[in-house]
Structure 1
């Protein structure tokens, strides 16, 4: 029987990868918002401003999701650190379940963010 071992160090490693990805998204959103600011000064048509507002709202919402996800990772890391300080590398089954659920959540968020970026780039191509 082939069993896979999940250790705290594996969870920590995946957390670090996720944090880097989320921080990258956060930086991208700054660039996207700067681009929106440029467009607001160029265009005054109502249709265009409605689309700009839509993207601005989406970027704000996604920024909030990023912050929530970073906070969730930080809470998980505190729990892992507590276990390691106690000398136990035994896995907390609840933490592992939350980790696996979070993995699913981040995969869904990747798809949502990729679609948002794709839509924004199409929008920029149309108006830039």
Structure 2
């Protein structure tokens, strides 16, 4: 079965890869946070502390976003499973298409934002460690 030019298998595949990628981001943020804590412990300067707080906030925002997106991907997987059982359900097909577009857009946007955050943090670290 094909919906929006993607087969159900392709959607399952994309979702599985996204879940793995999000798990990796969470682990990576834990590592980045350890380095941030080291900078925080080494500097008492208020400007540096403000930058540390900025990155702490960004990491929290990322983790919250990842958790939300992960839940949405899992819900989309459940919807696709229902659709596989009831292929002619137009209401499910439309919901799936709408949700899939939104999730895909959010994932692609966050991939870019996460890379930018990581690059910015690495630049910050290179000046502080």
User: 1:27-84 deviations in whole A, cap 9, x for unaligned?
Assistant: 1100011111111211111111111011000000011000010000010011122233
Structure 1, 37-46 or 115-124: larger mean CA deviation: 37-46
Equivalent position of 2:28 in the other structure: 28
- Structure 2: stretches of 5+ with no match in the other structure: none
Runs ≥4 residues deviating over 3 A: 87-91
Matching of residue 118 in structure 1 with residue 81 in structure 2: no
Paired residues, what number? 124
**CA distance, structure 2, for counterparts of residue 120 and residue 5 of structure 1:** 38
TM-score by length of structure 2 reads: 0.86
Q: Is the Cα–Cα contact under 8 Å of residues 7 and 89 in structure 1 kept in the other structure?
A: no
Question: In 2, distance between residues paired with 1:107 and 1:74?
Answer: 17
TM-score relative to the length of structure 1: 0.87
Q: Per chain length, whose mean CA-contact separation is higher, i.e. which structure has more relative contact order (CA < 8 Å, sep 6+)? A: 1
Q: Tell me the C-alpha RMSD between the 2 structures.
A: 1.9
SS at match of 1:44: coil
